[in-house]
Amino acid sequence: MKINFKHISIIGVGLMGGSLAMALKAKGFKGKITGIGRNRKNLTKAKRLGIIDDYTTEFNEGVKNADLIVLAVPVGQFEAILKNIRQNLKNGATVTDVGSVKAQIVKRLEPLMPKDVYFVGAHPIAGKECSGVTCASANLYQNARCIITPCPHTNNAALKKVVTLWKTVGAKTMLMNPEEHDVIFSAVSHLPHVVAYALVNGILKVDEAILHHGGKGLRDMTRIAKSPAELWRDICSHNKKNILRSLKMFSSSISNITKLIERSDWQGLEKEFIKAREARQPLESD
């Protein structure tokens, strides 16, 4: 599989978008990569770092010649951006994204596509504790999984383009329907993020001045609470129903453990801990 398109425009040159550009160059992509964004300072930095070939803050200008447009800003901005650029998309162009939610995105963006332009959603399972273009790296997607969420009417050539893109940067692609994606990731990704934020705030409620006593365990557990708040606010609003359901299941686990401790049912508590310990084994094999 080889990339057969020449011009990629990335909207949002931060950790995810910047890493995609770097990875493409590292893997030998010879076409042009245009960075698009609102923050000129960030874009000039990306250009200076050699991550992008050129840049613009004029979204319509930046997309008009692109064969592939990648949305790499918080998901809450997708719709407004699409409404703005849709008239300027090239015939045969493909639009994709790197967002952590899929069903609502696909449902809202597909009807905005002009004739002969297709949207194919994608969610690379990769991240880092830091954000922004200075955090980007060429190997972020190496061996990462990337969920791609075509619909029954998705154009096959467009799907192939997006699959090729991610395979080129070293990701393991997997097709899934957008609704199934959102149920699964509400539990294995969105819930942990919300819990990490809640854990920090819960400790503050016990005592505002004790967080620094925490060790490596607490640091690792709350590392993902360093993610930009705007990003996770948008993800919560775009996957509200599933995240609420996952939160409900989690709260029931917490209340179950609380009751076992209240009743001094230490055998029951140990069983609960063992269940979790054994169930998380698959996470180690990555």
Minimum CB separation of residue 75 from its own copies in Å reads 12
Say if residues 68 and 118 touch (Cβ distance below 8 Å): no
Residue 1 corresponds to which tokens in the numbers above? 């599989």
Say if residues 30 and 89 touch (Cβ distance below 8 Å): no
Q: How far apart are CA 282 and CA 170, in angstroms?
A: 21
Strand partners, 179: none
Nearer to its own copies, 63 or 138 (CB): 138
Minimum CB separation of residue 135 from its own copies in Å reads 14
Range 90-109, binding its own copies (CB under 8 A)? none
End-to-end CA distance of the chain: 24
DSSP readout, 202-247? HHHHH-TT-GGG--HHHHHHHGGGGS-HHHHHHHHHHSHHHHHHHH
Nearer to its own copies, 152 or 284 (CB): 284
How are strands ordered across the β-sheet holding 54-56? 54-56, 32-36, 7-11, 68-71, 94-97, 118-125, 145-149, 172-175
Nearer to its own copies, 60 or 131 (CB): 131
Q: Tell me the site size for its own copies, rule CB under 8 A.
A: 90
- Using rule CB under 8 A, residue 243 touches its own copies: yes
- Using rule CB under 8 A, residue 80 touches its own copies: no
Range 132-151, binding its own copies (CB under 8 A)? 144-145
Contacting range for its own copies; rule: CB under 8 A; set: 31-39, 49-57, 90-98, 204-212 = 204-212
Nearer to its own copies, 54 or 220 (CB): 220
Range 155-194, binding its own copies (CB under 8 A)? 183-189, 191-194
Contacting range for its own copies; rule: CB under 8 A; set: 18-26, 40-48, 77-85, 226-234 = 226-234
Nearer to its own copies, 94 or 189 (CB): 189
Range 256-275, binding its own copies (CB under 8 A)? 256-258, 261-262, 264, 266, 269-270, 272-275
Number of alpha helices (DSSP H) and beta strands (DSSP E) in the chain = 12, 8
DSSP state of 113: P
Strand partners, 120: 96
Minimum CB separation of residue 122 from its own copies in Å reads 15
Residue whose token pair is 């923050």: 39
